[in-house]
Homo-oligomer: A and B are copies of this chain.
Amino acid sequence: MPDTIPVDSVGLITPQVAHFDTPLVLACGQTLPNYQLVYETYGELNADASNAILICHALSGDHHAAGYHSMEDRKPGWWDSAIGPGKPIDTNHFFVISLNNLGGCSGSTGPTTVNPATGKVWGAEFPMVTVEDWVETQARFADRFGIQTFAAIVGGSLGGMQVLDWSVRYPERLQAAAIIASAPKLSTQNIAFNEVARQSIRRDPQFHDGQYIEQDTIPTNGLGLARMLGHITYLSDDSMGNKFGRQMRHDTYQYNYEVEFEVESYLRYQGEAFTKRFDANTYMLMTKALDYFDPAAREGGDLAKVLSKAQCEFLLVSFTTDWRFSPARSEEIVDALIRSGKHVSYTKIEAIEGHDAFLFPIPRYMNALRGFLSRVAKRLPKENA
């Protein structure tokens, strides 16, 4: 809880809801007759709607990227370090939009909302959604604001995949793309970890084939396990080592299965906390969206050919200790962009935080984002630049 709102904060923010009644045909073949998206905006949209930046969130993210919902909030939004007046995503210049993706569990239509056709909570009946579906809903969302072209679209991890997809499927609708700690598709190992996470959830008897809300329960054991596992893959071996090492709870070994090393306690806590804020079906569905993403497959596996459609300029950022989406995965995108003759800047940031580094205000990283977006800002009408 801030005593006072910091001067470089976007301040108190109220999430809003946008309803859409035009049916949406999803990649899976199903049609949503209508849906809603919850969102936040920071800064002011300018007269010609040219200063908008879209933030795309990652697996467990949501629309609350910056600022506070109330003076009682313990923490600001998940990317508050990057978004605000004078910050790299500078709300003095830009109008920033952050929405909860379709299928999410923070207010947008998804597994925890009611299926109007049945009057019951969707649960596992909610259709699978893909990165492409999200981009489609985000494009419609932009239409609603009269935003023909985004000044920039920015995202890390799964968010970066959305940015990548935007750049090739709506090339004329963004000036700049920042793709952070991402990959052009999952590796086999990535898919394997996702599958273990899904199996953890599905094997929890409280999952009830995804209809747990109807049963008035939650698969806390399975979802907690999935998060524990995910969490290990978000951190680097070194950062876990620095943070916990082999620190023990007691002076000597206890020779039982209770917490012996502090890292065990930390993981259990992380797992449990997650089950209180996140929905298992949404987690399942988001991991599948990750698995499915493979834009190069549309061109026989030729990433450069797909990217040749892009018209924006790119910033790619990776982090040295990220082993979930290693620098090599960002470099695949960079190489393909260079091969297809695009404007691309790339920086590999020395960071100990692993994949999670994209959420940290690491100076070199923040400066890269700031520099890239300041160039974008210079092209805005005089009153915003």
Q: How far is the CB of A219 from chain B (nearest CB, A)?
A: 10
State the oligomeric state as a number of copies.
Answer: 2
Q: Is the CB of A225 within 8 A of B200?
A: yes
Q: Which residue of B lies closest to A241 (CB)?
A: B188
| A246 adjacent to chain B (CB < 8 Å) | yes
| A198 adjacent to chain B (CB < 8 Å) | yes
Per-residue interface assignment for chain A, residues 203 to 242, with 1 indicating a CB less than 8 Å from any chain B CB and 0 otherwise: 1110000000000000001101100110010010100110
Q: Is the CB of B193 within 8 A of A232?
A: yes
11 A-B residue pairs with Cβ-Cβ distance under 8 Å, sorted by A, are A188-B246, A189-B241, A191-B263, A192-B264, A196-B267, A203-B222, A203-B224, A229-B229, A246-B294, A253-B292, A261-B291
Residue numbers in B under 8 Å from A128 (CB-CB): 255-256
Q: Is the CB of A245 within 8 A of B196?
A: no
Most buried by B among A187, A189, A202, A245: A189
Q: Is the CB of A187 within 8 A of B261?
A: no
**Also in contact, A188 and B240, with CB within 8 A (given A203-B204, A203-B225):** yes
| A6 adjacent to chain B (CB < 8 Å) | no
The dominant DSSP class at the A interface is helix
Give the A interface residue count (CB, 8 A).
54
Per-residue interface assignment for chain A, residues 258 to 294, with 1 indicating a CB less than 8 Å from any chain B CB and 0 otherwise: 0011011001100100000000000010001001101
Q: How far is the CB of A376 from chain B (nearest CB, A)?
A: 34
Q: How far is the CB of A233 from chain B (nearest CB, A)?
A: 10
What separation, in Å, do the CA atoms of A185 and B27 have in the docked complex?
48
Most buried by B among A244, A253, A255, A268: A255
| A28 adjacent to chain B (CB < 8 Å) | yes
Contact residues of A between 146 and 200, Cβ < 8 Å to B:
185-189, 191-193, 195-196, 198-200
Q: How far is the CB of A135 from chain B (nearest CB, A)?
A: 17
| A145 adjacent to chain B (CB < 8 Å) | no
Among the listed B195, B240, B294, which residue makes an inter-chain contact with A228, where contact means beta carbons less than 8 Å apart? B195
Among the listed B192, B193, B200, B243, which residue makes an inter-chain contact with A200, where contact means beta carbons less than 8 Å apart? B200
Q: Is the CB of B257 within 8 A of A188?
A: no
